[in-house]
């Protein structure tokens, strides 16, 4: 799409460079300021709240996000770490633009517009384009996004939130014809024929939400959300989704009675492969979630059920039931108010696995025909969270779940340079540990640290394919007098197991991918109110590791350029 036709602002965009090739960095918020991203960056927040959101005070539309470079969605539960309290204000410009160039042939261009922080009506537009190319032909990717969002008050009792966006993600899939070794199952080697096939995902999405402006004194709450998306790729795979979510609640002193419901309809068209013909599947999921909420002093208790229905077409293999009943129970106890809280609960659900989700995990994917839903029969979680002071927040959480038919990403056993879905069996055991620490040493220096550990056991599979057992990250930021902003991101990803197929009585064969460490730096300097300069250095250690088997990441790269605001 030629965006110049729609936005004269594109004239400000110059040829530039891209961020690192690994997925975790491609999707980062590329604003090098400590807790000061621009208003329109709100479009990057996943704005689908949990259906069971039981907050007594409806949060306002949030436009501020932190400079988290490792946004891997690894937090398994709904309870975030307690963030340090901010004590400074921020400036949100009407117009923000960014463009630069670097050592790899690519572009980096971003532009955002908003109406600033009007109390009643807030809206904005954005345009982004990132692309890069590595040393090998198949090391090419591009990311483009165009969209808008807004929040509008309807009278004094309700608000409407709207958003819409078009997003495109492109990658190169390596060819299946090696030169140095005729065996197509061997990894890509130097000297191989790296002629490529392009994979491109096109996504068009939109959402409208209306809800009353809840306050602590509200005795009646309601909300209605309508949205959907359409996704397609280069190989005729398509996914169309429509969802409708509603919530009503009535407060009776310390108790409230709430009723939530959800209709989630998805139609999938799978492309033909060497093994199968093209086919289509309907995947509807219906949820009915009544619950009671009790909040008194230091204790918040939720008790309810999650009744989930599916159709014959998306029924689970070997399970005749089409209607499932899950618990929805949680408790939060403020052991030391404002400083220390204990939480825990048990829940369950039918988890809808989608082309959208897995293509975002691995942009080289081409085959989705084995995609199925998962049944999370129960998920028990418990943890502790709080703050040592106004400057230190923490959270530690343990989760244990019993899951049927969990989906994993694996290499195609006939062509290991492509990827497909692997369905695990029934009664899989998943254990997750997550810990976060957020520290504000001063107004100038902040640091986020995180740990994520994962273990999966199943009677039918040997490993949790392509899932790391451990992730660590450290992300400090420094702000010198609102003129110089410095960031650093160090993260570690542990071993992953790549499935290679079966080998008779020996069972599954696999290859262990080495762990890797990635280090990134960023700096920006504000020349004056309207202009600034920036420099980002990614993969400083120049580790050309494989995030997925046969796909090596881009090595050291940097990008520098200009920013402007109005």
Q: Which token pair is 249?
A: 């609640």
Rg, C-alpha atoms of the chain: 24
- For the chain, report the end-to-end CA distance as a whole number of angstroms: 27
Q: Are 232 and 201 in contact (CB under 8 A)?
A: yes
Q: Is the pLDDT of residue 124 over 60?
A: yes
Query: HSE-up of 58 (CA within 13 Å, CB side)?
Result: 22
CA distance 166 to 559: 25
Q: Is the pLDDT of residue 54 over 50?
A: no
**Number of neighbouring beta carbons within 10 Å of residue 507:** 10
Enter the pTM of the model: 0.80
92 pLDDT tier (thresholds 50, 70, 90): low
Q: Is the pLDDT of residue 46 over 50?
A: no
Structural domain of residue 497, as residue ranges?
3-565
Q: Which token pair is 345?
A: 């609960």
Q: Which residues does 253 contact at the CB level (< 8 Å), separation at least 6?
A: none
Which pLDDT score, from 0 to 100, does residue 558 have?
A: 87
Q: Which token pair is 239?
A: 């996914």
Q: How distant, in Å, are the alpha carbons of 15, 101, 127, 487, 557 from that of 536?
A: 16, 10, 20, 9, 8
Q: Are 434 and 381 in contact (CB under 8 A)?
A: no
CA distance 112 to 96: 5
Q: How distant, in Å, are the alpha carbons of 231, 349, 450 from that of 6?
A: 22, 42, 41
Q: Is the pLDDT of residue 179 over 70?
A: no
CA distance 551 to 234: 19
Judged by average pLDDT, the poorest of 28-32, 334-338, 364-368, 558-562 is: 28-32
**Number of domains the chain is built from:** 1
Q: Which token pair is 4?
A: 């110049």
24 pLDDT tier (thresholds 50, 70, 90): very low
Name the maximum alpha-carbon separation found in the chain: 74
Q: How many residues does the chain have?
A: 566
Q: What b-and-e string marks burial along 136-149, b requiring 16 or more CB atoms within 10 Å of the CB?
A: bebbbbbbbbbbbb
Domain holding 359: CATH number? 2.40.170.20
Q: Are 203 and 168 in contact (CB under 8 A)?
A: yes
SS3 of 214-270: the string is: CCCCCCEEEEEEEEEEEEECCCCCEEEEEEEEEEEEEEECCEEEEEEEEEEEEEEEE
**Mean pLDDT, the chain, whole residue set:** 79
CA distance 523 to 526: 10
Which pLDDT score, from 0 to 100, does residue 320 have?
A: 83
Q: Are 14 and 50 in contact (CB under 8 A)?
A: no
Task: Name which of 217, 330, 353 is nearest 281 in CA terms.
Answer: 353
CA distance 272 to 368: 10
- Name the DSSP letter for residue 3: G
Q: Is 233 exposed, middle or buried (0-12, 13-18, 19+ CB in 10 A)?
A: buried
Angle (CA) 164 351 41, round 5°: 30
CA distance 146 to 166: 5
**Mean pLDDT over residues 441-453, rounded?**
93
Task: Name which of 173, 240, 228 is nearest 200 in CA terms.
Answer: 173
**Mean pLDDT over residues 71-76, rounded?**
30
CA distance 231 to 50: 22
Q: Model confidence over 199-249: pLDDT tens digits?
A: 999 999 999 999 987 655 568 889 999 999 999 999 889 999 999 999 999
Q: Are 260 and 252 in contact (CB under 8 A)?
A: no
Q: Are 509 and 498 in contact (CB under 8 A)?
A: no
SS3 11: helix
Torsion of CA 290, 296, 299, 303, to 10 degrees: -10
Q: How distant, in Å, are the alpha carbons of 21, 200, 273, 353 from that of 266?
A: 31, 20, 22, 10
Looking at per-residue confidence, does 549 or 47 come out higher? 549
Task: Name which of 146, 140, 95, 83 is nearest 390 in CA terms.
Answer: 83
Q: Is the pLDDT of residue 496 over 50?
A: yes
Task: Name which of 137, 142, 138, 192 is nearest 167 in CA terms.
Answer: 142
Torsion of CA 85, 526, 149, 199, to 10 degrees: -110
φ/ψ of residue 23, rounded to 5: -60, -40
Which pLDDT score, from 0 to 100, does residue 32 have?
A: 29
DSSP output for 169-195: EEEEEEPS--SS---TTSPP-TTS---
Q: For a pLDDT cut of 70, what percent of the chain falls above it?
A: 77
**Mean pLDDT over residues 317-321, rounded?**
83
φ/ψ of residue 24, rounded to 5: -60, -25
């Amino acid at each position: 799409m030629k965006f110049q036709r729609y936005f004269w602002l594109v004239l400000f965009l110059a040829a530039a460079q891209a961020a690192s090739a690994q997925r975790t960095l491609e999707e980062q918020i590329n604003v090098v300021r400590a807790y000061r991203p621009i208003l329109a960056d709100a479009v990057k927040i996943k704005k689908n709240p949990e259906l069971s959101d039981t907050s007594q005070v409806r949060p306002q539309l949030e436009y501020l996000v932190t400079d988290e470079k490792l946004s891997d969605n690894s937090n398994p539960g709904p309870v975030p770490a307690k963030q340090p309290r901010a004590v400074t204000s921020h400036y949100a410009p009407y117009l923000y633009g960014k463009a630069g160039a670097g050592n790899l042939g690519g572009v980096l261009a971003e532009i955002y517009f908003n109406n600033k922080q009007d109390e009643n009506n807030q809206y904005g537009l954005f345009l982004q384009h990132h692309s890069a190319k590595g040393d090998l032909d198949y090391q090419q990717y591009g990311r483009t996004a165009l969209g808008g969002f807004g929040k509008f008050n309807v009278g004094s009792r309700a608000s409407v939130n709207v958003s819409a966006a078009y997003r495109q993600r492109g990658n190169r899939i390596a060819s299946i014809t090696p030169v140095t070794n005729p065996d197509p199952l061997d990894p890509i080697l130097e000297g191989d024929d790296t002629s490529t096939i392009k994979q491109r995902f096109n996504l068009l999405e939109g959402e409208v939400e209306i809800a009353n402006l809840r306050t602590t004194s509200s005795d009646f709450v309601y909300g209605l959300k309508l949205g959907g998306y359409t996704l397609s790729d280069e190989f005729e795979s398509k996914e169309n989704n429509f969802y409708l979510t509603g919530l009503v609640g009535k407060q009776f002193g310390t108790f409230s009675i709430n009723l939530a419901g959800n209709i989630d309809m998805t139609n999938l068209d799978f492309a033909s492969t060497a093994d199968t013909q093209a086919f289509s599947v309907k995947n509807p999921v219906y949820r009915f979630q009544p619950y009671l909420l009790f909040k008194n002093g230091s204790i918040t208790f939720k008790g309810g059920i999650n009744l989930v229905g599916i159709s014959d077409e998306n029924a689970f293999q070997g399970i005749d039931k089409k209607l499932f009943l899950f618990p929805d129970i949680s408790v939060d106890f403020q052991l030391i108010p404002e400083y220390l809280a204990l939480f825990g609960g048990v829940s369950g659900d039918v988890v809808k696995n989608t082309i959208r989700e897995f293509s975002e995990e691995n942009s080289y994917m081409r085959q989705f025909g084995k995609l199925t839903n998962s049944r999370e029969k129960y998920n028990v979680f418990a943890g502790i969270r709080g703050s040592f002071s106004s400057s230190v927040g923490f959270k530690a959480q343990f989760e244990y779940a019993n899951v049927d038919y969990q989906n994993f990403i694996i290499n195609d056993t006939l062509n290991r340079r492509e990827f497909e879905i692997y369905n695990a069996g029934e009664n899989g055991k998943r254990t997750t540990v997550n810990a976060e620490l957020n520290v504000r040493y001063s107004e100038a220096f902040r640091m986020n640290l995180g740990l994520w550990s994962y273990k999966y056991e199943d009677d039918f599979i040997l490993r949790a394919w392509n899932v790391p057992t451990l992730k660590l990250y450290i992300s400090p930021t420094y702000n010198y007098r609102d003129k110089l902003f410095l960031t650093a991101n160090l993260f570690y990803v542990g071993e992953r197991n790549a499935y290679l197929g079966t080998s008779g009585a020996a069972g599954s064969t696999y290859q262990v991918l080495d762990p890797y460490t990635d280090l990134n730096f960023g700096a920006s300097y504000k020349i004056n109110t309207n202009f600034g300069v920036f420099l980002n250095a990614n993969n400083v250690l120049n580790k050309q590791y494989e995030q997925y088997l046969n796909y090596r990441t881009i090595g050291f790269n940097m990008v520098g350029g200009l920013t402007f605001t109005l």
